[in-house]
């Protein structure tokens, strides 16, 4: 949609009207429109600039904070000899499996608690109880119970994910418009139709908020999970670098976490955009 907006000041001073993308009041001076992705990257770029400046001027020692280019060359080295992918893929698998279990468990529990009174009584308080415990505190226990294999790592990630998904989806289900449910029932909806066409789509926005928290939680859990006697994974890479005092590798791992975090955030954003089209009436192109 485009709108040509004439502010009175423009007409008086004979400034040519300009086409603006949104209803923004055009001032006398023409503003340059910077594309949104570029604007969004301004913050990170600024941070990088300050970092480079501090390193370049020798303001901070490279043992404390290595220069961006040093970090990049260390990273490039890790990429080239396959070290990064070797570790990253292991972490991705853990997060992926943990997410899968966590999302399924969290969603199923939320549906049961959200639609059946008995379910709510049995599940809700129990999950809320778990919610108040920082789930990473479970690490030592999980090791005692499940040993040092993959299980405790996946369980840790899945627990955090399930809680985040449950809490948000459950409250979304509870907040689905009662009037819509009543109307649906009046048109003879079966229980299944009610759940699949009214309750679940209605709680989708809440679920997606939960998913966003879940992804953040998954990567956080991973850091803790990979402190457990690992020999592969981003956490392993990090602790190795720590032992060898390779601050550049440590920095590169942190940057990797950050980039992945941002990527998962944008995946959810894309999902929201696609699944919640009805909110804006946006038809796509």
Partner 1 sequence: MTATVLRRAVQVRRLSRSFGERIILDDVSLDIAQGEVVAMLGRSGAGKSTFLRAVGGFDREAEGVIRVPDHRAVVFQTPRLLPWQRVLANVTFGMKSADRKERGRRALAEVGLTERADAWPGTLSGGEAQRVALARALVREPELLLLDEPFGALDALTRLKMHGLLIELLRVHHPATLIVTHDVDEAIALSDRVVVLDEGHIALDARVGIARPRHREAPEFAALRRRLLGLLGVQESELEI
Member of 18, 148, 180, 262 binding partner 1 (CB under 8 A):
180
User: Which residues have C-beta within 8 Å of that of residue 259, sequence separation ≥ 6?
Assistant: none
Member of 13, 117, 280, 285 binding partner 1 (CB under 8 A):
280
Stretch that binds partner 1, among 23-31, 55-63, 198-206, 227-235 (CB under 8 A): 198-206
Stretch that binds partner 1, among 26-34, 71-79, 167-175, 201-209 (CB under 8 A): 201-209
Interaction of residue 192 with partner 1, rule CB under 8 A:
no
Nearest-approach distance from CB 117 to partner 1, in angstroms: 16
Nearest-approach distance from CB 237 to partner 1, in angstroms: 43
Q: Contact, 246 vs 74, CB < 8 A? A: yes
Interaction of residue 202 with partner 1, rule CB under 8 A:
yes
Member of 197, 242, 254, 263 binding partner 1 (CB under 8 A):
197
What the block records as the tokens of 70 is: 């040093």
What the block records as the tokens of 136 is: 């990473």
Interaction of residue 193 with partner 1, rule CB under 8 A:
yes
State which of positions 34-73 bind partner 1 (CB under 8 A): none
The DSSP 8-state label assigned to residue 16 in this structure reads: P
Interaction of residue 2 with partner 1, rule CB under 8 A:
no
Cα–Cα dist 30/18, whole Å = 8
Cα–Cα dist 130/120, whole Å = 15
Q: What angle do CA 193, 194, 197 make, to 5 degrees?
A: 70
Nearest-approach distance from CB 179 to partner 1, in angstroms: 5
Member of 59, 281, 284, 285 binding partner 1 (CB under 8 A):
281
Stretch that binds partner 1, among 65-73, 174-182, 217-225, 238-246 (CB under 8 A): 174-182
**E strands in the chain:** 3-4, 19-20
Nearest-approach distance from CB 111 to partner 1, in angstroms: 17
Interaction of residue 195 with partner 1, rule CB under 8 A:
no
How many CB atoms lie under 10 A from the CB of residue 180?
13
Facing residues of 3 across strands? Answer: 20
Interaction of residue 284 with partner 1, rule CB under 8 A:
no
Member of 105, 127, 184, 271 binding partner 1 (CB under 8 A):
184
Cα–Cα dist 94/155, whole Å = 10
Cα–Cα dist 114/170, whole Å = 6
User: Which residues have C-beta within 8 Å of that of residue 232, sequence separation ≥ 6?
Assistant: 86, 87, 90
Residues in contact with partner 1 by CB under 8 A are: 179-180, 182-184, 186-190, 193, 197-198, 201-202, 204, 277-281
């Amino acid at each position: 949609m485009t709108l040509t907006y004439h502010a009175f000041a423009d007409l008086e001073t004979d400034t040519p009207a300009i086409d603006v993308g949104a209803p923004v009041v055009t001032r006398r001076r023409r503003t340059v429109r910077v594309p949104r992705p570029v604007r969004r990257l301004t913050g990170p770029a600024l941070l990088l600039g300050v970092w480079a400046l501090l390193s370049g001027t020798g303001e901070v020692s490279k043992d404390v904070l290595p220069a961006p280019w040093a970090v990049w060359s260390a990273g490039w080295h890790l990429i080239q000899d396959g070290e990064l992918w070797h570790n990253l893929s292991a972490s991705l698998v853990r997060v992926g499996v943990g997410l899968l279990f966590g999302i399924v468990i969290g969603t199923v529990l939320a549906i049961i608690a959200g639609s059946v009174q008995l379910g709510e009584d049995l599940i809700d308080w129990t999950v809320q109880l778990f919610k108040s415990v920082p789930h990473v505190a479970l690490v030592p226990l999980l090791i005692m119970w499940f040993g040092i294999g993959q299980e405790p790592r996946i369980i840790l990630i899945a627990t955090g994910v399930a809680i985040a998904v449950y809490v948000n989806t459950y409250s979304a289900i509870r907040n689905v418009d009662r009037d819509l449910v009543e109307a649906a029932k009046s048109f003879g909806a079966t229980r299944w139709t009610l759940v699949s066409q009214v309750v679940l789509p209605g709680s989708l926005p809440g679920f997606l908020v939960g998913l966003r928290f879940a992804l953040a939680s998954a990567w956080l859990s991973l850091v803790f999970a990979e402190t457990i006697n690992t020999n592969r994974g981003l956490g392993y890479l990090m602790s190795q670098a720590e032992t060898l005092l390779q601050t550049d590798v440590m920095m590169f791992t942190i940057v990797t976490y950050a980039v992945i975090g941002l990527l998962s955030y944008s995946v959810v954003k894309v999902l929201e955009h696609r699944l919640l089209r009805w909110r804006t009436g946006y038809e796509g192109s």
